[in-house]
């Protein structure tokens, strides 16, 4: 299990090109897709948030996005500063490196597939 942000950060840095690093945050590339990783403590539990950009918020068909959001398992569509992202939240210490890599691999291919469904 990856039990801390330091372990998660070291794993990501060892396997993916890092674009930017800040305290508790990494911006990196999986395939040709940018992924943002951030750790935050909420209600006394550390959570890892992984997100990838999908499209400008104004380009999205709202009903299609709501329907897709309802079908996502474990992730959700969120908007931030006029942009739509696919975000997943994991409890730190409850996943291992393989599970993290599988989710990152999914985030690398998801944007193109999701764009076809909601634009």
Domains annotated on the chain, with CATH: 5-118 (3.30.1460.10)
Q: Residue 74 above 90 pLDDT?
A: no
Give per-residue pLDDT as tens, 27-39: 999 999 999 999 9
- What percent of the chain is modeled with pLDDT above 70? 100
If you average pLDDT over residues 27-54, what whole number do you get?
Answer: 97
Helix (H/G/I), strand (E/B), else coil: 102? helix
If you average pLDDT over residues 40-60, what whole number do you get?
Answer: 97
Q: Residue 76 above 90 pLDDT?
A: yes
What are the beta bridge partners of residue 26?
21, 37
Count of CB atoms situated within 10 Å of the CB of 62? 9
Helix (H/G/I), strand (E/B), else coil: 74? coil
pTM of the model: 0.94
Give 99's contacts (C-beta < 8 A, 6+ positions apart).
90
Q: What tokens does 20 get?
A: 């930017």
Q: Residue 73 above 90 pLDDT?
A: no
Give per-residue pLDDT as tens, 82-91: 999 999 999 9
Nearest-angstrom CA–CA distance, 44 and 54: 30
CB 1 within 8 A of CB 95: yes
């Amino acid at each position: 299990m990856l039990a801390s942000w330091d372990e998660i950060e070291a794993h990501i840095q060892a396997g993916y090109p890092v674009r930017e690093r800040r305290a508790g945050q990494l911006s990196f590339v999986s395939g040709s897709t940018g992924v943002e990783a951030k750790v935050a403590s909420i209600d006394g539990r550390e959570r890892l948030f992984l997100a990838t950009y999908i499209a400008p918020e104004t380009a999205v068909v709202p009903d299609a996005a709501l329907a897709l959001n309802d079908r996502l398992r474990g992730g959700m569509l969120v908007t931030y500063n006029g942009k739509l992202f696919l975000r997943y939240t994991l409890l730190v210490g409850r996943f291992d490196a393989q599970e993290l890599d599988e989710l990152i691999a999914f985030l690398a291919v998801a944007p193109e597939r999701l764009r076809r469904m909601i634009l």
